[in-house]
Structure 1
Amino acid sequence: MEAKVIQGLHLTTWISSDKTVPTMSSSMRLSNRFEKTKRVNMLKCDHFGTIKPAIEHRAARLKVPCTSQNFPASILESETLTSEEDLLLQKKSEEIEPCLSGRCIYLVGMMGSGKTTIGQILSEVLGYSFFDCDKLIEQAAGGTAVADIFKHRGESYFRDNETEVLHKLSSMRRLVISTGGGAVIRPINWKYMQKGVSIFIDVPLDALAKRLTAIGTASRPLLHHGSGDAYTQTFKRLCKLWEERSEAYSNAQVTVSLERIASKLGHEDVCSVNPTQIAIEALIRIEEYLKKE
């Protein structure tokens, strides 16, 4: 039996009727993660290349050519290759999941910070369901893209719907929720998010500007390019948004800093940090937060 997540917005996303998600066993979660490798694929950081995905799932003895979009050629002796990072991610999730007691996880951060990718990884290893607030709002608007909602209905209309989505989701359990970059600006939204555990994904603005410029900003209604270099315009706009939001981001109960992860791992560039490493750091920080409660 299923029930609508956001009845007031007539959304088409569903979860079980008791507002919880059945818990999967550890082996099921790990297997599920391998089968959905594409969901933890690389974060494009700039136009020169991509970040190494944490898991590669290939047929036995399949030779992989070396190109700009993958990694050095190799022959895999087994069907599924697990890395130490994947095993650490699984181990940490098994330790933390009972301590969460079903509380939802809310990811906040600037646009392009990887909230959706990280959220999908966390949901899989924890046995939670994943929801993207922007996608839910688009569904409620009959499939209208966020950029078009801003254009035709205005930002206030979008923010009202965003608040309603967070209100509905806050009454549920065992969810990982990716919020929009501006969700933090309304105090009422924090009232709902503080019912769970909120995590701020902190990415340097220059890295965000590189990534957003590389993938394009057409779908980002708050990144309006003026004349001149696209990267420069994007960076300037991100700096302005950061000035407006940085204090609000500090309300998050947990902060995951890509600069800190890069330093720990000996990377000179935050773009060398992969999604699995970010997810592991998120679980470590959640564990520290829960111990202090």
Structure 2
Amino acid sequence: MEATKAVQGVRFSAMLQFKRLGRTESNDSLRMFGGFKEQLFVSSKLHLTTPSRRIRGRMVSLVVACLHNNVPAPTLESGSFQAPVDEKLILKIKSQEIQPYLSGRCIYLVGMMGSGKTTVGRILSHVLSYSFFDSDALVEEQVDGTSVADIFKKYGESFFRNKETEVLQKLSMMRRHVISTGGGAVVRPINWKYMHQGISVWLDVPVEALARRITAVGTDSRPLLHSKAGDAYTKTFMRLSALFEERSEAYPNANARVSLENMAAKLGRSDVSDLSPTAIAMEALEQIKDFLIGEDGY
């Protein structure tokens, strides 16, 4: 994990230097960062002959509804999963549908901690042939590799938020990236100014599900959840509820919303934890496309 953060930091710093020479398109970035193939996902070689966009969209919706009733869902917190072949195929079709509208704009994922931004972000970056960045990891790189938890302890939350804003400002000048933002990035209006240079997507997950996920993996890396001894789930749930209340008016500023509750209801699932990361990524692409079509007046 430390090696991954180090590579990501080097790529980010190098890219900033490169961007000062002028804006470039994706091909330039890929040539420059050819040495970091383990970080840059390559476009799938899948070639499809498909019907018109409107008919294809209807077909995909029907297949998705049938498919997810039979697909087991891995946890979003694990970061490791293997999507079924059919799920990957549908995701690829959706990514091809959105490319003409997206035009290389960055995608910013916002949401509460534990909402799956990193996991879903990696899936999106892969299928879109974008690069992936985690804003928290970039802040850590800016502070000599210090972890977010230690930054909070040593310098305080305001220091971290300032660094976070600096990172988002730099990212806003770039193209063809998927960015997983920190849970609190939404509280500063200036951050929305930067994120709206691209497309922002809110991963809306019920607090109860977030508390279960985070409790299962521990709260050591979550500085805003550190508390005294006691029932871990109850304390996590209470703290997350308070944080969501503070941020509830900010999240709707996102251009698109992926509601896991709505998804679960539509697919006949009783628990949002039954939704796979790939299914969530597909819904994100669908919501982004709807926003872009509305924006362009199609």
Bin the TM-score by the shorter chain: 0.7 to 0.9
Are 2:148 and 1:146 aligned? yes
- Matched residue type, 2:157: E
Percent identical pairs in the alignment equals 57
Distance 1:42 1:170 in 2: 32
Shift of 1:51: 10
Match of 2:54 in 1: none
Are 2:43 and 1:29 aligned? yes
Match of 2:4 in 1: none
Q: Give the paired residue count.
A: 243
Match of 1:37 in 2: none
Cα gap change, 1:160 to 1:259, in 2 (>3 Å):
same
The question of whether the paired residues in 2 share the 8 Å contact of 1:206 and 1:235 is answered with yes
Distance 1:265 1:282 in 2: 15
- Matched residue type, 2:263: I
Deviation track 1:69-108 (CA, whole Å, cap 9, x = no partner) reads xxxxxxxxxxxxx522211100000111221111110000
Match of 2:184 in 1: 182
Distance 1:287 1:195 in 2: 16
Distance 2:262 2:86 in 1: 20
Match of 1:64 in 2: none
Match of 2:198 in 1: 196
**Secondary structure of 2:192's match?**
helix
Shift of 1:267: 0.9
The question of whether the paired residues in 2 share the 8 Å contact of 1:131 and 1:177 is answered with yes
The question of whether the paired residues in 1 share the 8 Å contact of 2:76 and 2:116 is answered with no
The question of whether the paired residues in 2 share the 8 Å contact of 1:133 and 1:165 is answered with yes
Match of 1:43 in 2: 75
Match of 2:170 in 1: 168
Cα gap change, 1:217 to 1:19, in 2 (>3 Å):
farther
Deviation track 1:158-207 (CA, whole Å, cap 9, x = no partner) reads 00000000000000111100100000000000000011100000001001
Shift of 1:137: 0.7
In the superposition, the TM-score normalised over structure 2's length comes to 0.77
**Structure 2 unaligned runs (5+)?**
1-8, 31-41, 47-72
**Secondary structure of 1:113's match?**
coil
- Matched residue type, 2:265: S
Measured on the aligned residues, the alpha-carbon RMSD in Å equals 2.3
**Secondary structure of 2:44's match?**
helix
- Matched residue type, 2:235: Q
Match of 2:251 in 1: 249
Match of 2:10 in 1: 12
The question of whether the paired residues in 1 share the 8 Å contact of 2:79 and 2:119 is answered with no
Distance 2:76 2:289 in 1: 28
Q: 1:292 aligns with which of 288, 291, 294?
A: 294
Cα gap change, 1:88 to 1:143, in 2 (>3 Å):
same
**Secondary structure of 2:289's match?**
helix
Aligned pairs for 1:106-125 (under 5 A) are: 106-125=108-127
Shift of 1:52: 9.6
Higher helix share: 2
